[in-house]
Structure 1
Amino acid sequence: MKKNSTLALFAAFIAFTTFSCSSDDKSEENTGGSDTGKTKYIITATTGATGVADYLLTADDVSTGSITTVGNGIEQDGTYRYYITAENNFFSLLYGQGNPGAVTTYNLNASGNLVKKSNFQAETVHVFAAVNSDILTVKVPRSGASIASMYKIDAKESLIKGEAQQDTKVLAGNGERAFFTWATQVGDKVYMPYMSIKGDGVDNFGTVNPDSTWVAVYNYPELKLQKVIKDNRTSYLGAYFTKGLFQDENGDAYGFSGAIATSNSVLVSKKPSAVVRIKKGTTEFDQSYFFNVEEKSGGYKISSTSYISNGKFLLLMYGNAGKNNGAVKLAVVDVYNQTFKWATNVPETLTSATSRYNITSEDGNSAIIGINTPEGNWIYTVNGTTGAATRGMKVEGGQITAIQKLKY
């Protein structure tokens, strides 16, 4: 029973939140027509139909009303799609199950309509992040060859403009292989947290190194490894397809660990789920800072994280199946003051949530998140200070998988 409970908990960490991800636009440039100063929201929703990924829906306001996939939106092809916004372009990446997949670029025209800009083929990747005016993507092997391939895509021109490689076994240096969880631009460098995994088809994501934290530092645009930042107060940052490192407005970087490392499908992390910090201008973990979120939450673990602003984050938390029924809850934290609050006015039962990569409200004080429940699917706004959630637009005809916005 103990093993089964642990397996269920780990599976929930991987499966609960939707894998359709998006990232905040890093540029003010408008490539979609005349600049009206207006913003339109892009909402992706899946009907669950075989062979169909998502529908792309657009709305001027997500705080009220309803929208539907029935007879509406732009249908995406393929089963799995992932999303990222950069240079005011919206990129839809097809996960090709190991094979190359289509990358389709959209933007808004002068009338605010979502239109296709380009379409090209790229490798199926596990990491994609906006860096400068590029999108950095990384294909990370879990078995066979140990070379991770990094691609730089010009976000304005939608063209691959460079590639670099990293031997993940050499990077790990411990008999296992490094598996990048995500990439984050920190200053003029790229910080790439990774987990250590056995790989090679034998307990692929298991490890004998569950309670260490690693961040590989690369220069950019050369993508040459400069250093690995290490710590052992918690486990790896982020998770598979999940960002775990964020830079704030002060230039400091905060890392979030779920402490969910396994071996032979059994949870083996001994350290708490926590937040660590790398101060601006340094390449070391700040030993004076440690935010024990698991303790503050009463035994819950971090599953995914979204940055709001000014040190405020929205967290999706999982409970221990044997301790608190494995409940799934939303919370807000202030990493500056190390305060923790459960979100209020949230549905009691969540089927899934778009909590991996959401957007911030226009006033910068709240996170906008899609919440799917057995009763229906809505877009909520969660205040980063109070934790109070406000229900907005209802999405009908499909579950919400991502939310983003573009200017036109």
Structure 2
Amino acid sequence: MKTKHSFSKLFFAVLISALSFTSCDDDNDNTIIDPDDNYESKYIVVGSSGENDYLVTGTSVETDSIFDATSADALQSAGSSFWSFVGNKVAYGFLYNSTEAGVTGSYILNSDGNIKQRNELGLEVSVHTKGIVGDKLIVAYSDRLRDTTVANNAYFYEIDPETDVSTLYTITTNDMLENGEAGYITDIAEYEGYMIAGARSINSSSFTSEYLNNTYVVVFNNDYSVKQVIKDEGRTGFVAGQKYSQGLTGLEVIENGDLYVFSSGQTNYVVADSILVPSGILKINAGHFAFDEDYFFNITEASGGYNLYRSYYMGGSTFILSMYPGIGSKATFGIDADRFAVVNVASETFTWVSNFATAKGIEDDPFFVGEPFIDADNDQLVVPVVNSDNENYLYTIHPETATATKGAKVIAEGVSAIGKLTNQIN
């Protein structure tokens, strides 16, 4: 197994590049928080126009509010990115590229309460998944090399959100989960003081597997070597679900310390009708490093044939799930994850969310659901939606009632994400 001290010569050059980043213009504020300032937190909405994203701020997501991404106050971000908000302090936009590095930028609120780009990070690979471990943002990319004579690697960037300084670690994933197959990282989280990762086992030459109905959680040491692989066989599939290689929100530690593990039950289109794997939730009890053999929440069964796509922890034992339809080859694998449900993982209850926007289902329907934001301060999930009439709104989902409310309007061609930033210490 390799760590950052045993890179190949090729990736030694990558590491040197990754440790550097380019600062933005001098008028950008390079501090995350100024304790002498007293600005309220602001919502950040990511609107889109053409091939670019535009970030715009606001103080409310209620019905009478408007986020205008076409205004002079909106900040342009080159390309269409995947967004991550870290501790209400900094937002990262990861420009997805399937094989090469995309542009990664960090964004903060400056001393005037306006959104500003802070840095561009020199990441030399694309980003497939990410998570928070301690006070660091960890982003990862996994090889799926078709040449089976070459080792597959997973690359982890450890990013300091205070400074944007990054350090690259790499490990070889051949035979990490199963002999003859490579490991592919799908989610990252922290559990019992360790970094853990969801992973899927793949035959990289075809992105298939002999182990589609197994679930794997990898436990890492501080030097990113593998400490342990926690494995479950036969109940559901790999951790989280994927769309455009982005696997997220499959590992969630709740308030009592229990770790819940979410799987979409995805296979692949080649074997979709011959191998059926249900979406489901597994549990690792606090302080343990093995799956609870007595716990399995079959989400496909509870939902009447739908599949789990993403999970959003709302406190206690309550989650909001985004869901997508279809069984076998009719499954959309998250392309239209446009229904939501509230679940209690302790009592194993499942309730569909009412009053959420629905697609008209016509050909070339523009309906699109963006990346939600867990608004813990207001006990709600805020979801960006482009409806069938090509209008953009923010919907709020309230877990206690399992109902959605149409809120602020977004003026843009599309809306893909929302989060919150502050420039004061809470």
**Structure 1 equivalent of residue 92 of structure 2:** 91
Q: How far is 1:273 from its partner?
A: 1.2
Match of 1:384 in 2: 399
The structural deviation recorded for 1:171 is 0.6
After superposition, where does 1:8-407 map in structure 2 within 5 Å? 31-33=32-34, 34-36=36-38, 38-47=40-49, 49=50, 52-64=51-63, 65-72=65-72, 73-78=74-79, 80-87=80-87, 88-123=89-124, 124-143=126-145, 144=147, 145-160=151-166, 162-200=167-205, 202=206, 204=207, 206-220=208-222, 222-232=223-233, 233-240=235-242, 241-243=246-248, 244-262=250-268, 264=270, 266-320=272-326, 328-349=338-359, 351-355=367-371, 358-363=373-378, 365-375=379-389, 376-407=391-422
**Separation in structure 1 between the aligned mates of residue 331 and residue 181 of structure 2, nearest angstrom:** 33
CA shift, 1:167, in A, is 1.5
User: Aligned-pair distance for 1:269?
Assistant: 4.0
Answer whether contact 2:154 2:185 (CA < 8 A) is retained: no
User: Relative to 1, partners in 2 of residues 1:156 and 1:319: Cα closer, same or farther, differing over 3 Å?
Assistant: same
Q: Gapped runs of 5+ residues in structure 2?
A: 1-30, 361-366
Alpha-carbon deviation of 1:59? 0.8
**What are structure 1's unaligned runs of at least 5 residues?**
1-29
Output one character per residue of 1:111-131: Cα deviation in whole Å (capped at 9) or x when no partner: 311122222311222122222
**8 Å contact from structure 1 (residues 262, 268) kept in 2:** no
C-alpha distance 198-85 of structure 1, shift in aligned 2 (>3 A): same
Q: Secondary structure at the match of 2:175?
A: helix
Q: Matches of 2:315 and 2:263 in 1, distance apart?
A: 19
If asked which structure has higher relative contact order (CA below 8 Å, sep 6+), I would say: 1
Q: TM-score, normalised by structure 2?
A: 0.81
**Which string of whole-angstrom CA distances, capped at 9 and with x for unpartnered residues, describes residues 42-74 of structure 1?**
111222x1xx23111111111232222223411
Question: Which of these two proteins has the greater Rg computed from alpha carbons?
Answer: 2
**Identical counterparts, % of pairs:** 27
Contact in 1 for aligned 2:141/2:185 (Cα 8 Å): no
Q: Is the 8 A contact 1:369 1:380 kept in 2?
A: yes
Verify the 8 A CA contact 1:235 1:260 in the aligned structure 2.
yes
- What is the aligned-residue RMSD (CA, Å)? 2.3
Tell me, in whole angstroms, the C-alpha distance in 1 between the residues paired with 2:324 and 2:210.
Answer: 23
State how many pairs are aligned. Answer: 368
Contact 1:255 1:276 in 2 (8 A): yes
Asked whether the equivalents of residues 155 and 169 of structure 2 are also in contact (C-alpha less than 8 Å), the reply is yes
Residue by residue, what CA displacement relative to the aligned partner does 1:209-262 show, whole Å, maximum 9, x if unpaired?
111101111133x22211000112111110231221111122211111111212
Alpha-carbon distance in 2 for matches of 1:217, 1:113: 39
